[in-house]
Amino acid sequence: MAEITAALVKELREKTGAGMMDCKKALNETSGDLEGAIDWLRKKGLAAAAKKAGRVAAEGLVGVVTEGKKGAVLEVNSETDFVARNDKFQDFVANATKVVLTAGADIEQVKAAPYGNGKSVQDELTALIATIGENMNLRRGQVLEVGQGVIASYIHNAVAPGLGKIGVLVALESSGDEAKLQEIGKQIAMHIAAAQPQFLDTSSVDQDALNRERDVLTEQAKASGKPEEVIAKMVEGRLRKYYEEVVLLEQVFVIDGETRIKKVIENAAKEVGAPVAITGFARVVLGEGIEKEESDFAAEVAAQAGR
């Protein structure tokens, strides 16, 4: 009988996508024979996840949870929107998001963290893939925390409490009234969902992004044929417009259409009885940046009929 080493268990897990304990059991049942263990897992339906791992998963849900001075957001992808309405999938996303609160935003750490039923998060996900029959994966998470104040949240296109298509967290540091802070935070979180800011303030704008924007605006201004000093002023004016588009504190509040977010925060201080500062935000959009496969439904039906 071959020795059941950690490396052998790891290899079997990578080949099949099955849980660690199931891999150990399979190797024990087959006296350490790797190919036999793969067949054993397939017969038990535990290797189903491996067959689905290559399929594009761009649907699913974003989960958001807040607890005390901390909040977490997690994106879990599936292949179809239908799965997002599955109670078991919803329960998994909600519970996995809570794990992010303690395990942190690193997805590998989240996968390895205890799910709460004797399994790891990854093992629970693998079992869910086998049950539902679609590829699924934990894509990204974020955590925000304040020393004092609140973490406010918002879910857009919610299918259940804390679950939807866009998840937003915003951190408000303040010693003021927490109930009022939550109200203001919720409004700002809704603004973030709609206005899509990329940076908190002008000092946090990525320098490479700023340089690229400056180069584009300079070339555009040169086309006007105006003198260099005029071109410089035109570029600076257009850069201010760029800030208003991508910087949260420079954006116009979508709820009233006229007040800048930095002014909204200044006004909030009077309402809550203490200075308020936005120290961070997170905005996670389901499937953002994933290249989806284009499918011809009619061709699919025809192909199925021809089988």
Q: Is residue 294 part of a domain?
A: no
Q: State whether 117 and 234 are in the same domain.
A: no
Q: State whether 163 and 99 are in the same domain.
A: yes
Q: What is the DSSP string of 122-188?
A: HHHHHHHHHHH-S-EEEEEEEEEE-SSEEEEEEEES-SBTTEESEEEEEEEE-SS-HHHHHHHHHHH
Q: Is residue 63 part of a domain?
A: yes
Phi/psi at 274 (5° precision): -165, 155
What is the pLDDT, as a whole number, of residue 217?
85
Q: Is residue 91 part of a domain?
A: yes
What is the pLDDT, as a whole number, of residue 297?
47
CATH number of the CATH domain containing 31: 1.10.8.10
Q: State whether 132 and 185 are in the same domain.
A: yes
Taking the CA atoms of the chain, what radius of gyration do you get in angstroms? Answer: 25
Closest to 244 measured CA to CA, from 233, 256, 252, 253: 252
What is the number of domains present in the chain?
3
Distance set, CA 211 to CA 224, 233, 241 (Å): 21, 16, 15
| Residue 8 to residue 14: CA distance in whole angstroms | 10
Q: State whether 174 and 228 are in the same domain.
A: no
Cβ atoms of residues 178 and 69 within 8 Å = no
Q: Is 99 helix (H, G, I), strand (E, B) or coil?
A: helix
Domain carrying residue 16: 6-52
Q: State whether 64 and 17 are in the same domain.
A: no
Q: State whether 114 and 171 are in the same domain.
A: yes
Q: Is residue 128 part of a domain?
A: yes
> Strand order of the sheet with strand 163-164?
136-145, 70-78, 59-67, 163-164
Q: Per-residue confidence of the chain (307 residues) as pLDDT tens digits?
A: 567 888 888 888 777 767 778 888 889 999 988 888 888 887 776 665 555 555 656 799 999 999 999 999 999 999 888 999 999 999 999 999 999 999 999 999 999 999 988 899 999 998 898 888 888 999 999 999 999 999 999 999 999 999 999 999 999 999 999 999 999 999 999 999 999 999 999 999 888 888 888 888 888 888 888 888 888 888 888 888 888 999 999 999 999 999 999 999 999 999 999 999 999 999 999 988 876 655 554 554 555 455 4
Q: Is residue 307 part of a domain?
A: no
Q: Is 62 helix (H, G, I), strand (E, B) or coil?
A: strand
- Which residue in this structure is represented by tokens 């061709």? 299
